[in-house]
Structure 1
Amino acid sequence: MFQTITNALRQAAFGAAALAVSATVAPAQEIRIGAMREGTSWYVFAATLEQMIEPILGANTVEVVARGGGVANPMVVQAGRAEIALSNTATAVWAMEGAPVYEGASAPDIRALVGGLNDVYIGVMARQAFLEARGTTDLAAILASDQPVRILLKPAGSSAVPAAEMILQALGTNAEEIRANGGDIVQVDTPQIPDILRNGDADIYIDTIVRGHPTITEVTLTAGMRFIDIPQAAMEVLSANGLGVGTFGPWFEGQEAPTVGANLGTVLIANASVPDETAYQITRTVIENAAAMGEAHAAWRAFVPENAWRPENVGIPLHPGAERYYRERGWIQ
């Protein structure tokens, strides 16, 4: 995979250099790209984008911030700790509106550059042995039972955490009640997740899922996992909070059919203070190098550039520089 990424970066850099010949040079400005830790699809995207836009913005002007996440990144951009960042579409909306997950904070100064980059589903998995012992794959029935259940999540900052809270609430429970019943909510960093599931130290795993996700791939190959649908009652709550309704897969070992999940979406956002010309060039570079993005990571191959501006894909207002690009292409009338 690393060789594939390296090749894609070289192709992206070559393409961006050619693009720079005909492009208006954007004002020199340091651009920090908020992503996630190394190895994630967002880090791969950010590293690829870095190679694409440096020929246009200038050498040593672009840096990838290898931390953050779907919930954190809108606030990272709002606070000026990154000029642009990847965000979930839903969390960008939550941040701009000051939703409860942000505990009184909001991000009124974030703007969209490119939406619809890839689908990011909230999905639910359970160990096959646990499901066999319970005799059901119905998540609502499992949570309604008086038998304890241990739910595995990533730490706060992941979009999966507030989504999981919504699912539990919709199905009539919460973390406190699960613990009171002898169960637990286990929150660990991504590298610890496979071992916890292999060792049988958790029963249900809720996370963000994209095609080719390395952690999901590992646990489905080594921990005897099965995907289960999010029940309708929970999907209604997730939909009311800005997530799309849909199915994903089959993408992984043991996933024999599409699974019902909630789509958070992915959007590249910027601070409103980013100069219009810079925002224009970044938007142009992403759109016109979409194929290189797809080569860097399978998650980006379904991106449809002409839909990148649509309200359902960006969630928040477009940056004026991005809007100018889409109008020039004739996609916004």
Structure 2
Amino acid sequence: MKKWLLMACLFGTITVYGSEKPAKRVHLTFATQEVGTGAYQYASAISNVFLKGLPKGSNIDLTTESPGGVGAPIVLENEQCDIIMSNAGPAKWSKEVGILGRETTKSIRAIAGGLGNDFVNILFTKEFVNKTGITSMEELIEKKYPVKIAIKKVGTLGNLSGVKLFEAYGLTFEDVKSWGGSVDLLGGDAIKIYLQDGKADMTIDHVAAGQANTTELCMTKEMFFPQLSDETLKKMVDNGFDYIDIPANTWSGQKEAIKSIGSQQVILVHESMNQDTAYRLAKSLVEGKDELSSQLAALSYFDPSKAGTPSQAGVQLHPGAEKYYKENGYLN
């Protein structure tokens, strides 16, 4: 009995009279971006919740090796970490067609999706609207207007959202250039300046409410907020996004709600992860929802009833996570 009690203390077993083997402690690496970024804050909060569900003595090391949402599935596929955060869309695309010029991923699995409330944000300058009379993407495409676009660099979800939007119209950025327009790939601050100074007519990004550059832009420059057609929205949803509304007054000057789409963050693991470990990660995440919400407001949108659905997870659930969701009525 004394020997069994010692083992219980060391390994966190919850069995009775030693009838089952004690759960083994695990060591996991969680790849994220550099300290001080929003991604690091997410990973830190989530890893603390994860640890509460893992066997006693387990640990999770945060490593700053993640390139962010778009490239994250590649890092995981190459087994450079055990856990990483991406977005549902990039995870789906990496598995189906490949991303960033890489071959398709085959081994990535999801623990949970729907962590966040980001959306595709399209902005025209009011000067552009007044000059051209164009008030929608569909009208812009129909007229093949030589628009000047400022968008984030390749490798960001902002850029990829723009690429996917033009794909929904059967076009690419090269088509815009063929009309006499331009597409400048820039950092967030430079995009803001381009729009403020009239060097660009529009931008497309994937952001959350309160994003600093967009907030400042809309407070210092009169902007116009185009609404995508229902047909375009559906095409985007069919291609890996999900419906989301941008509430009225999210940005200065935006008086009405906008129907949009978004690709929320998802926690990915390698298919080789132990099933019990994946089960524990899903369980601790769901049971720690209130703790996560208290630490980061964006995590308050996490909904266990949707966390394992294709639109939120992007890729197939890890069998351990799937088992947890099914046992607790979150999946059929």
- 1:27 corresponds in structure 2 to 25
- Deviation digits for residues 226-277 of structure 1 (CA, Å, limit 9, x no counterpart): 3211234533432331222443222222221121322223321111122233
- Deviation digits for residues 141-161 of structure 1 (CA, Å, limit 9, x no counterpart): 234446531112211122332
**Which amino acid in the other structure matches residue 64 of structure 2?**
V
Q: 1:139 aligns with which of 133, 137, 150?
A: 137
- 2:6 corresponds in structure 1 to none
- 1:281 aligns to 2:280 (yes or no): yes
- 1:106 aligns to 2:108 (yes or no): no
- 2:232 corresponds in structure 1 to 234
How far is the alpha carbon of 1:88 from its aligned partner? 1.7
- 1:97 corresponds in structure 2 to 96
Q: Are the structure 2 counterparts of residues 72 and 315 from structure 1 closer, same or farther at C-alpha, using a change threshold of 3 Å?
A: same
Distance in structure 2 (CA, Å) of the matches to 1:54 and 1:191: 37
Superposed, 1:1-333 pairs within 5 Å as: 27-34=25-32, 38-40=36-38, 42-54=39-51, 56=54, 61-65=60-64, 67-99=66-98, 101-103=99-101, 105-145=103-143, 147-171=145-169, 173-250=171-248, 251-332=250-331
- 1:16 corresponds in structure 2 to none
Q: 2:276 touches 2:320 (CA, 8 Å); kept in 1?
A: yes
- 1:9 corresponds in structure 2 to none
Distance in structure 2 (CA, Å) of the matches to 1:310 and 1:177: 35
**Which amino acid in the other structure matches residue 190 of structure 2?**
Q
**Which amino acid in the other structure matches residue 46 of structure 1?**
A
Q: 2:242 touches 2:311 (CA, 8 Å); kept in 1?
A: no
Distance in structure 1 (CA, Å) of the matches to 2:85 and 2:106: 16
Q: Are the structure 2 counterparts of residues 219 and 306 from structure 1 closer, same or farther at C-alpha, using a change threshold of 3 Å?
A: same
How far is the alpha carbon of 1:205 from its aligned partner? 1.0
Q: 1:37 touches 1:67 (CA, 8 Å); kept in 2?
A: no
TM-score, scaled to structure 1: 0.81
Distance in structure 2 (CA, Å) of the matches to 1:22 and 1:158: 44
- 1:12 corresponds in structure 2 to none
Distance in structure 2 (CA, Å) of the matches to 1:22 and 1:189: 51
**Which amino acid in the other structure matches residue 207 of structure 1?**
D
User: Which is helix-richer, 1 or 2?
Assistant: 1
After alignment, is 260-269 or 103-112 more displaced? 260-269
Q: 2:109 touches 2:315 (CA, 8 Å); kept in 1?
A: yes
Give the unaligned 5+ runs of structure 1: 1-19
Distance in structure 1 (CA, Å) of the matches to 2:246 and 2:14: 40
> RMSD across aligned C-alpha pairs, in angstroms?
3.0
Over the matched positions of the two proteins, sequence identity in percent amounts to 24
TM-score, scaled to structure 2: 0.81
Give the unaligned 5+ runs of structure 2: 1-11, 16-21
**Which amino acid in the other structure matches residue 93 of structure 2?**
W
How far is the alpha carbon of 1:203 from its aligned partner? 1.4
How far is the alpha carbon of 1:60 from its aligned partner? 6.4
How far is the alpha carbon of 1:208 from its aligned partner? 0.6
Q: Are the structure 2 counterparts of residues 146 and 276 from structure 1 closer, same or farther at C-alpha, using a change threshold of 3 Å?
A: closer
How far is the alpha carbon of 1:38 from its aligned partner? 4.2
